[in-house]
Amino acid sequence: MIKTLLFPSVYEATLRDYSTRNDSILGFSKIKMDGIDYIVGLQAFTEGVSPHKSINASPADPDYKLISQSALVLALNESAKASKSSVFPKLAITTGFPFATFQYNKDEAVEYFKSDKIITYYKADEAGNMITEQTLVPVASVNVMPEILGCDYAIRKGENPSDENYIIISLGYGTTEGVVSTPEGVLNRSLFSVHGINYAVNVFAQEVYKHSYLRLKTEHQIDQIFSKGFIYIDRKRRDFTEEKLQSLKIYYTNVLSPAIRKYVSDEDFELCSKIILVGGGAYHQELVNLFNEEFGGICAVTIQPHPEKCASIGYALFSKNHTYQESNKDTLSYHQDRDNIACVGIDIGNANTCVSVIFNNHTIDNSGL
């Protein structure tokens, strides 16, 4: 089984010690990088003032390094829990990027994850003391693939593998992508990358700011308001359901529908039995309704279970299959290394980061899925 954990892709530099609590997902209070302390994930949202992350960061950016190092600590700790060895398992890592930035970033990402890393972080104990910990991340292999192919891999190779033809659309925060998928592979001519849900969030913010003061919220904080559809201001609940609906309609009409019309032909709809929505944007029912209004009469519109985790699950499955194929080529490699390798998928999203872990063939608690 696969265990998948998710944390918000935000951070904030800090000079404070947070000795009373650790991040509930990451398990640490703060992390150090280049001599500066940072709070990350839920800790940044609850304790920070301006939690943020740039959109579609590259491996050279501090944003990417900080979030990825937090994800590596999480992956290593989860792998260690499942390992029967006293030695930390090596990580077989697969990660990805939107197709629009994949070619530009893939080589740099491989080199970044392969390089030796000693990560320093701080944990609060029950007595209110801060404990400094350091961990060396042992890496067995690194693969990088387009995010949309990671999602497709999860559908084709996952718990309930599909052998149908379908259109897969990944509704990410920074990028939305789509492609026609067949059992033989995806149709390259049908692949598209366009603005993600942040387009709708920005439209939403512009509308809300006309009549409400949101106290200098960052884009990621506004995204939380957008997802909920309300906020409390001056002890009063303000409902923004209508603003959310209108911004999603503008996004669908100006961005999504034209892209699908351009890249997915009538013959593709004849070939495919359904549209599969993945990515965190699939949780916006208002957006799903718009897909159904346009395409419900010609094919089914479905949502992949746990759509926000689809890419990381596909990455982890790819790591597992690729690692075992490689180790089977060499009997010596099989006996020495395969039994202590954790297969990891890391999806560094613009809104959330997902980490999926498969440790060898042992069953891992699936409660986090």
Do 231 and 207 contact (CB within 8 A), yes or no?
no
**Residue 254 reports pLDDT greater than 90:** yes
What per-residue confidence (pLDDT) applies to 261?
96
Give percent of the chain above pLDDT 90.
80
Q: What is the pLDDT of residues 22-59, one digit of tens each?
A: 999 999 999 999 999 999 999 999 999 999 999 999 99
Q: Residue 197's closest CA among 258, 229, 244?
A: 244
Residue written as token pair 């925060």:
173
Same domain, 173 and 128: no
Same domain, 329 and 257: no
Give percent of the chain above pLDDT 70.
92
pLDDT bucket at 239, cuts 50 / 70 / 90: very high
Do 350 and 174 contact (CB within 8 A), yes or no?
yes
Is 279 within the bounds of a domain? yes
Is 214 within the bounds of a domain? no
Global model pTM greater than 0.85: yes
Same domain, 124 and 250: no
Is 336 within the bounds of a domain? yes
What per-residue confidence (pLDDT) applies to 87?
74
Select from 287, 309, 331 the last residue of a domain: 309
Average pLDDT over residues 251-255: 98
What per-residue confidence (pLDDT) applies to 106?
96
**Total structural domains in the chain?**
2
pLDDT bucket at 84, cuts 50 / 70 / 90: low
**Of all helices (H) and strands (E), which one includes residue 193?**
strand 185-195
Same domain, 39 and 184: no
Q: Residue 179's closest CA among 187, 57, 110?
A: 187
Q: Which range has the worst mean pLDDT, 139-143, 200-204, 261-265, 362-366?
A: 362-366
CA distance linking residue 146 with residue 168, whole number of Å: 13
Same domain, 343 and 303: no
Average pLDDT over residues 70-79: 94
> What secondary structure, in 3-state letters, does 253-300 show?
HHHHHHHHHHHCCHHHHHHCCEEEEECHHHHCHHHHHHHHHHHCCCCE
Do 355 and 346 contact (CB within 8 A), yes or no?
yes
Domain CATH for 171:
3.30.420.40
**Residue 165 reports pLDDT greater than 80:** yes
183 burial class (0-12, 13-18, 19+ CB within 10 angstroms)?
Answer: exposed
Same domain, 132 and 162: no
CA distance linking residue 32 with residue 188, whole number of Å: 41
Q: What is the pLDDT of residues 326-337, one digit of tens each?
A: 544 543 344 345
Is 63 within the bounds of a domain? yes
Query: What integer best gives the mean pLDDT of the chain?
Result: 91
pLDDT bucket at 88, cuts 50 / 70 / 90: confident
What per-residue confidence (pLDDT) applies to 157?
94
Q: What sign does the CA torsion over 177, 180, 181, 185 have? A: negative
Same domain, 74 and 107: yes
Q: Which residues constitute the domain of residue 131?
A: 3-146+314-359
Average pLDDT over residues 5-17: 96
What per-residue confidence (pLDDT) applies to 206?
94
pLDDT bucket at 367, cuts 50 / 70 / 90: very low
Do 252 and 301 contact (CB within 8 A), yes or no?
no
Q: Amino acid identity of 279?
A: G
Average pLDDT over residues 155-178: 96
What per-residue confidence (pLDDT) applies to 360?
61
Q: What is the pLDDT of residues 310-322, one digit of tens each?
A: 999 999 999 999 8
CA distance linking residue 335 with residue 141, whole number of Å: 17
